[in-house]
Structures are given as C-alpha cells and as structure tokens.
C-alpha cells in the first residue's frame, strides 16, 4: 500500500503527541496496517511559535485549505478544538472525501449526528475515540464490545482536570486555584478551564456516551450539569469522616425507554472502585443487563494518552482503506429519547445544613423529611463553638428528586435553618 498522508489541524498538547507516536511507532504501525503513515501538513495559528518537538517548518501552515483542500491528504486529524471553525473544516474535508479523526467532544456532542450523516453520505470514516476519557478506549468498547448487551447505566469520572483538583484537595489539602493552575500547566485543562470546573466538558462526554450506550439521540441540553467550583474543603472533610470521597461523576441511567443524564459532584463511598480513581485518571463504570458490572480505567487527559486514542483511530481508518470499507457501516439515526421525570430519578443524598443550635431543631428537620416520605440512613450533628449554630449532616436512603426538591424548598422557609450549605448525590 502507498504511504497514507495525514493532515493535522492543530499542533498543541494532543497534536504534538500524535506526531510523536506516528514518528516513534512507525514500524509497529506499518506492520499492523501494511501502510506507512506520514504527517504531511499541519495547521497552526502561529507558524513562528516555539514548539516542544522538532518539526520541519515546511510542514506548518496557517491556511486550513492547505490541509483540507490538499489532494494528497487522505485523513484529517482535528485537534485544534473549538466548535464553529472545527465543524466547518471537518465538513469541508468530508466534502472532499477525506476521513476524519477528532478529539473534539464539544463538536461531537453538539453536531455529531450531522457530521456522521455527512460522512456516511460521502463514504468516509469519522472516528472520535479521544473525545471521551483520553486514553481509555471507551467508545470502541461501547460500540463494539457491548453491541450484544443492553446497557442500563454508565457512570464515570470523565474529566481529568477536575479529578486532579479534587484528589489534591482531598489528599493534600491543596487550594483549588493552585491545583487548577497546575492542571493547566500539565496540558489537562481545556483552553477555557471553565468547561472543566463547571462540568461542561464532562457533560459533553456524557452526551456522547449516552448516545452510544443507549442508541438514543441524546442532546447536550438533556444533561443536568453542576461543577466543582462550589465544593469546599469542609464538604470533603465531612465526606471523609462519613466514609465518602467527593468525585465529579457523570451518570447516565436507563429504565425501560426513559433515560436521565447528569454531571455533578457526588459523594462516592470509599469502598466503591470509583472512589480510588485519583489524579488525572478517569474510569467509566458500565452496567449491562447481561454482562453486569464492568469498569474501564486509565489516564483521562494529557498529551500521550490522548494521542494514543487518536493514532488508534488512524490505524482503524487505514485498515478500512485496505479493505475498501470506509464509511460502509452506514449511519443510522438514533432513536428518539424520552427523559425521566424528577419522580423517576432517585438516589441517596448527602445534605449539610447550618442550623440554630437549640433544643428541638433536629426533630423539626427530620419531620420535614418524614412529611415528604424521604427516609434517613444517618444523621450527624456537629456543634460549632464559634457561632450559635450547628452543622447537621444527613444521608438519606434512596429518594426521588421531586421529594428532595420539596424537602429543600421547605428548609428554605424555616427560621432555624440558616443555610443549606451543600447537597450531593451519594453513590456506592
């Protein structure tokens, strides 16, 4: 087979890793595919910027057309990020019959269906393994490994930056802002780290996993999202005291034909395998009706792990080229999803309240739970010597979201409740 020419859109953290792997593993890649891979053109914003790898200046371009309209290029790897331009370049490249590999979850979560439909029309491959959980081959696992099963729950730590931050806060008492800066320096964070810390990046990944796992047209707007910027050292300390670690979890559940998807900081029981996933590592728990529980673990961000997934996708495209089956799988639009109502979503909950420290308050609080038929697993009261208030931590049994909202609404109107400090879902 003649060498396969690859054009890169982007040479940042991930693009640099792709060049390193393609160049460093050339022989292994060729022996698997029967063709040499050659990176022939690379789009960057600034050709004169200093790079951490030696790259021939002739390969760099600031014009996207030198990649996407280049007749020599067979495969375009999009690792520049962003949505509008990336979408435009990918659609233009598909129009010209080029296969696409991308790490762009923002794009795939928002416009995946349109891009896949276009690829199918043009007989092209679009692979996006690196868009979820960096180096973990979770997309291939859902699409191929579990094609025989009916998945009912996908629960994961799918953002490396926030897991890195929470781990350092929990294990070293580090300050949130300092650790975020470290995660940025290590190349884990998005160009705008708000995406990471406010849970949007994880929401995009859960949109992709929910779509593939449940074969439903999940939209980003179907995911309820809250991030970690409000998680305090106090929450982490109380969680630990009760045997929990705070993790930003993406949780997608299906019951019959109804689904729910959320991203939220969650108290995970220390005995649960997700509680010991630390640092930049990600893990995805997949429950299938037939297979039962499975879990996939690995580095969720960073140059080389993410590039591993990109280059694996390149290998898949080249293998399809050899067999002449690119884009032949056909794109079938996913079925219409039905979202669960608040009454259908249930979980255990952790609630930290600041309350008046006087007789009878605990009874008033527990009465509210009873009125809304929420039963309690444990209650811990902690007097605060500096203020005439106490802290009460409550763990509920499984309760539906509608009842929990009513409980919290009732607390807001009670004089003895000074503040609802935190509310977390509990898993494990």
Ligand X SMILES: N[C@@H](CC=O)C(=O)O
Ligand Y SMILES: NC(=O)C1=CN([C@@H]2O[C@H](COP(=O)(O)OP(=O)(O)OC[C@H]3O[C@@H](n4cnc5c(N)ncnc54)[C@H](OP(=O)(O)O)[C@@H]3O)[C@@H](O)[C@H]2O)C=CC1
**Quick one: what does residue 187 bind among ligand X, ligand Y, none, with the CB cut-off 5 to 8 Å set by partner type?**
ligand Y
- Does 134 help bind ligand X (rule: CB under 6 A)? yes
For ligand X, the closer CB: 82 or 243: 82
- E strand or H helix that includes residue 420: strand 417-427
Among 247, 30, 17, residue whose Cα is nearest residue 135: 17
**Quick one: what does residue 281 bind among ligand X, ligand Y, none, with the CB cut-off 5 to 8 Å set by partner type?**
none
- Helix segments in 266-413, DSSP class H: 303-323, 361-371, 401-412
- E strand or H helix that includes residue 21: helix 13-24
**Quick one: what does residue 135 bind among ligand X, ligand Y, none, with the CB cut-off 5 to 8 Å set by partner type?**
none
d(CA 391, CA 393) in angstroms, rounded, equals 7
For ligand Y, the closer CB: 81 or 156: 81
Q: How many CB atoms lie within 10 A of CB 321?
A: 19
In the Cβ-directed half-sphere of 4, how many Cα atoms lie within 13 Å? 27
**Quick one: what does residue 196 bind among ligand X, ligand Y, none, with the CB cut-off 5 to 8 Å set by partner type?**
ligand X
- Does 407 help bind ligand X (rule: CB under 6 A)? no
For ligand Y, the binding residues in 93-152 under the rule CB under 6 A are 103-104, 130, 134
**Quick one: what does residue 159 bind among ligand X, ligand Y, none, with the CB cut-off 5 to 8 Å set by partner type?**
ligand X
- Does 190 help bind ligand X (rule: CB under 6 A)? yes
d(CA 337, CA 40) in angstroms, rounded, equals 42
- Does 211 help bind ligand Y (rule: CB under 6 A)? no
Provide the strand spans (E) within 95-243: 99-102, 126-127, 151-157, 223-225
- Does 365 help bind ligand X (rule: CB under 6 A)? no
Helix 303-323 and helix 26-33, axial crossing angle in degrees, nearest 10 = 30
Stretch that binds ligand Y, among 40-48, 140-148, 210-218, 391-399 (CB under 6 A): 40-48
Task: Specify whether the CB–CB gap between 74 and 281 falls below 8 A.
Answer: no
At a CB cut-off of 8 Å and minimum separation 6, what does 365 contact? 353, 355, 392, 394, 411, 416, 417
Per-residue binding string, ligand Y, 56-95, x by CB under 6 A, is -----------------------xxx---x----------
Given the residues 168, 205, 337, 389, select the one marked as catalytic: 205
| Nearest distance, CB of residue 196 and ligand X, angstroms | 5
Q: Which of 154, 155, 189, 248 binds ligand X (CB under 6 A)?
A: 189
For ligand X, the closer CB: 162 or 262: 162
How many residues belong to the site for ligand X (CB under 6 A)? Answer: 11
Residue 94, SS3?
helix
CA distances from 393 to 217, 229, 265, 353, 423 (A): 39, 21, 16, 6, 10
Q: How many CB atoms lie within 10 A of CB 78?
A: 30
Stretch that binds ligand X, among 29-37, 186-194, 226-234, 396-404 (CB under 6 A): 186-194
Token digits of residue 234: 């106090």
Which residue's entry shows tokens 């670690």? 245
- E strand or H helix that includes residue 235: helix 233-241
Would you call 269 a catalytic residue per the annotation? Answer: no
**Quick one: what does residue 227 bind among ligand Y, ligand X, none, with the CB cut-off 5 to 8 Å set by partner type?**
none
Residue showing the smallest CB distance to ligand X in the complex: 161
| Nearest distance, CB of residue 195 and ligand Y, angstroms | 8
d(CA 241, CA 219) in angstroms, rounded, equals 37
For ligand X, the binding residues in 137-176 under the rule CB under 6 A are 159-161
For ligand X, the closer CB: 300 or 327: 300
Q: Which of 7, 15, 193, 227 binds ligand Y (CB under 6 A)?
A: 15
- Does 250 help bind ligand Y (rule: CB under 6 A)? no
Which residue's entry shows tokens 């009125």? 371
Per-residue binding string, ligand X, 297-316, x by CB under 6 A, is ---xx---------------
Per CB under 6 A, residues contacting ligand Y are 10-15, 43-46, 49, 79-81, 85, 103-104, 130, 134, 187-188, 190-191, 301-302, 306
Catalytically active residues, by annotation:
205
Per CB under 6 A, residues contacting ligand X are 134, 159-161, 188-190, 196, 201, 300-301
């Amino acid at each position: 087979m003649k060498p396969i020419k690859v054009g890169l859109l982007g040479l940042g953290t991930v693009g640099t890793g792709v060049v390193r792997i393609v160049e460093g593993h050339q022989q292994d890649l060729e022996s698997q595919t029967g063709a040499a891979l050659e990176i022939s053109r690379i789009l960057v914003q600034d050709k004169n910027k200093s790079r951490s790898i030696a790259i021939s200046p002739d390969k760099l371009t600031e014009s996207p057309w030198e990649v996407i309209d280049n007749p020599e290029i067979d495969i375009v790897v999009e690792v520049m990020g962003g949505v509008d331009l990336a979408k435009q370049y990918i659609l233009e490249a598909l129009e010209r019959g080029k296969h696409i590999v991308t790490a762009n979850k923002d794009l795939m979560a928002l416009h995946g269906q349109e891009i896949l439909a276009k690829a199918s029309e043009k007989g092209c491959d679009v692979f996006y393994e690196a868009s979820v959980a960096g180096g973990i081959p979770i997309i291939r696992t859902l699409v191929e490994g579990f094609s025989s099963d009916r998945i009912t729950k996908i629960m994961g730590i799918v953002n490396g930056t926030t897991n890195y931050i929470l781990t350092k806060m929990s294990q070293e008492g580090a300050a949130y802002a300092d650790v975020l800066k470290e995660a940025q320096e290590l190349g884990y964070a998005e160009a705008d780290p708000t995406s990471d810390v406010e849970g949007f990046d994880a929401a995009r990944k859960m949109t992709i996993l929910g779509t593939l796992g449940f074969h439903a047209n999940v939209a980003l707007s179907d995911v309820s999202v809250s991030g970690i910027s409000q998680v305090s050292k106090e929450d982490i300390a109380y969680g630990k005291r009760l045997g929990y670690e705070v993790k930003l979890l993406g949780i997608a559940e299906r019951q019959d034909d109804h689904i729910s998807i959320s991203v939220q900081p969650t108290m995970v029981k220390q005995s649960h395998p997700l509680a010991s996933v630390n640092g930049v590592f990600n893990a995805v728990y997949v429950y299938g009706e037939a297979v039962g529980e499975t879990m996939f673990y690995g580095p969720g961000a960073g140059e080389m792990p993410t590039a591993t997934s990109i280059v694996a996708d390149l290998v898949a495209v080249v293998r399809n080229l050899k067999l002449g089956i690119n884009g032949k799988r056909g794109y079938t639009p996913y079925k219409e999803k039905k979202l669960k109502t608040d009454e259908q979503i249930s979980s255990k909950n952790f609630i930290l309240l600041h309350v008046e420290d006087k007789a009878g308050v605990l009874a008033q609080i527990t009465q509210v739970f009873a009125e809304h038929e929420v039963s309690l697993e444990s209650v811990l009261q902690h007097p605060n010597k500096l203020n005439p208030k106490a802290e009460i931590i409550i763990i509920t049994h499984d309760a539906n979201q509608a009842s929990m909202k009513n409980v919290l609404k009732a607390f807001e109107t009670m004089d003895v409740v000074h503040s609802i400090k935190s509310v977390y879902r509990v898993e494990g």
